[in-house]
Structure 1
Amino acid sequence: MKILIADHNPSGRNMLNRMLELDGHEVLQAGSWKEALKCFGDSQPEMAFLGQLADSNGNASAAELKALAPNRFVPVLLSTSISDHCSLARFLESGADDFIDPPYSHIIIKAKIANFERVRELYRKLEKFRSTTEQEIKLAQHMFNAVTHKRPAEPDFIHHWTLAAGHFCGDLMIFERTPDNHLHILLGDFTGHGLAAAVGALPTSDIFFAMTRKGFGIHEIAREINRKLHKLLPTGQFCAASLVSISPDAARLEIWNGGLPPVLLINGQREILHEFPSSKLPLGVVGDDGFDASSAECSLGDIHHIILYSDGLVEAQNANGKEFGGHGLASALRVSGPAGSLLDLIKNGVIEFLDGLEPHDDISLLSINLGAAC
Structure 2
Amino acid sequence: MIQQTERLLIVDDQPSANETIKAAIERLGLPIHQAYSHAEAINCISEGYYDFIILDQVLGDGDGLDVLRTLRRQRHENKPFVLIISAKDSEEFIESCFQIGADDYLSKPIRPTLLRLKVKTFLEKRRLRRTFQRNNQSLQRLLVQMEDETRMARFIYDHLRARYHEEVDGLYWHIQPHSHFSGDMVLSCSGANGHLYGMVADATGHGLAAALTMLPVLGVFYTMVKKGFPLVMIIREIDRKVFEESPDDRFVAAVLFEYDPDLNELEVWNGGMPPAYWVENGVQQEFISTALPLGLSGEEHFDGQTSVLKTNQSGFFMAISDGLVEQRDVNDNFLPVQLIRERLAQSHAANAIDGCLDVFKNHLDQPTPDDDVSLMVFSPHQFQRPETPILIDTRLLEGNALWRYRLCGLALVVEAFLAAADEVLKRWVISLTTQQRAFTVLSELITNAIDHGCLGLDSNLKTDPEGFAHYFEKREQRMAHLSDADWVEVRMNLTSGSLIIEVEDSGSGYLRDSSTLLNLDAVAGRGLALCRQLATELVVTPPGNMTMVSLSLTGSKTDEQALSYS
In structure 2, what residue type is equivalent to 1:192?
Answer: G
> What code does the residue aligned with 1:147 have?
L
Q: In structure 2, do the counterparts of structure 1 residues 289 and 106 end up closer, same or farther at CA, with 3 Å as the change threshold? A: same
Q: Does 1:369 pair with 2:382?
A: no
Among 233, 237, 243, the alignment partner of 2:256 is 243
Q: Which residue of 2 aligns with 1:291?
A: 302
Structure 1: distance between partners of 2:131 and 2:178: 32
2:265 is aligned to 252
Pairs within 5 Å for 1:165-204: 165-204=178-217
User: 3-state DSSP class of the match of 2:300?
Assistant: helix
Alpha-carbon distance in 1 for matches of 2:204, 2:52: 52
Change over 3 Å in CA distance of 1:140–1:310 after alignment to 2: farther
SS at match of 2:189: strand
Query: What per-residue deviation string (whole Å, max 9, x for no partner) do you get for residues 245-267 of structure 1?
Result: 11215732111111111111112
What is the CA distance between 1:171 and its match in structure 2? 1.6
Taking a change above 3 Å as real, the CA distance of residues 255 and 337 of structure 1, as seen in their structure-2 partners, is closer
Aligned to 2:359: 349
**In structure 2, what is the Cα distance between the partners aligned to 1:264 and 1:145?**
28
| Aligned counterparts of 1:151 and 1:194: Cα–Cα separation in 2 | 20
* Deviation of the 1:198 alpha carbon: 3.7
The question of whether the paired residues in 1 share the 8 Å contact of 2:188 and 2:198 is answered with yes
How far apart in 2 are the matches of 1:338 and 1:367? 10
Does residue 210 of structure 1 match 2:209?
no
Q: Which has the higher contact order (CA 8 A, sep 6+)?
A: 1
- Residues 193-252 of structure 1: CA deviation (Å, up to 9, x unaligned): 444334333322222122212221111100011111211111111111111111215732
User: Would the aligned equivalents of 1:305 and 1:369 in 2 still touch at CA under 8 Å?
Assistant: yes
Partner Cα distance (1:299, 1:350) in 2? 30
Partners of 1:123 and 1:300 in 2: how far apart?
Answer: 62
Amino acid at match of 1:274: Q
What's the CA shift string for 1:86-119, capped at 9, x where partnerless?
Answer: xxxxxxxxxxxxxxxxxxx999998888877776
Q: Could you tell me how far 1:280 is from its partner in structure 2?
A: 0.7
Q: Supply the AA of the counterpart residue of 1:300.
A: T
Which residue of structure 2 aligns with residue 147 of structure 1? 160
Q: Give aligned pairs, total.
A: 294
Matches within 5 A, 1:295-314: 295-301=306-312, 304-314=315-325
- CA distance in structure 2 between the partners assigned to 1:45 and 1:320 by the alignment: 54
3-state secondary structure, aligned to 2:315: strand
Is 1:317 the counterpart of 2:313 in the alignment? no
Residue 337 and residue 281 in structure 1: after superposition, are their counterparts in 2 closer, same or farther (change >3 A)?
closer
How far apart are the structure 1 equivalents of 2:52 and 2:366?
48
Distance 1:108 1:188, change over 3 A: same
Match of 1:220 in 2: 233
What secondary structure does 2:317 align onto? Answer: strand
Structure 2 vs 1, CA of residues 44 and 116 (structure 1 numbering), >3 Å: closer, same or farther?
closer
Say if 1:319 and 1:357, in contact at 8 Å, map to a contact too. Answer: no
Distance 1:312 1:26, change over 3 A: farther
Offset, 1:315: 1.7
- The AA in structure 2 aligned to 1:138 is R
CA distance change for structure 1 residues 131 and 318 in 2, over 3 Å: closer, same or farther? Answer: farther
User: Secondary structure of the equivalent of 1:139?
Assistant: helix
- Deviant stretches of 4+, over 4 Å: 22-28, 42-46, 105-126, 336-339
Q: Does 1:278 align with 2:284?
A: no
Report the Cα distance in structure 1 between the residues aligned to 2:216 and 2:290, rounded to whole angstroms. 23
Trace 1:50-129 onto structure 2 (pairs within 5 A): 123-124=136-137, 126-129=139-142
1:114-159 CA-partner distances (Å, limit 9, x unpaired): 8777766665554344333323322321222222222354123111
- Which one-letter code corresponds to 1:253 in the other structure? L
> 1:317-341: per-residue Cα shift (whole Å, max 9, x none)?
344433324234235436x778731
RMSD: 4.0
Distance 1:276 1:44, change over 3 A: farther
Kept in 2, the 8 Å contact 1:313–1:363? The answer is yes
TM-score (norm 1): 0.65
- Going from structure 1 to structure 2, the CA distance change for 1:45 and 1:107 (only over 3 Å counts) comes to closer
1:288 alignment partner, SS class: coil
Per the alignment, residue 428 of structure 2 pairs with: none
- Segments of 5+ residues of structure 1 without an aligned counterpart are 3-21, 29-37, 47-78, 80-104
| 1:164 Cα deviation from its structure 2 partner | 0.9
Check conservation: 2:166, 2:189, Cα contact below 8 A: no
Q: Which has the larger radius of gyration?
A: 2
The CA deviation string for residues 322-368 of structure 1, in whole angstroms up to 9 with x for no partner, is 3324234235436x778731111112332343255211211111111
TM-score by length of 2: 0.45
Structure 2: give runs of 5+ residues left out of the alignment.
Answer: 4-27, 32-49, 54-71, 80-102, 104-117, 385-566
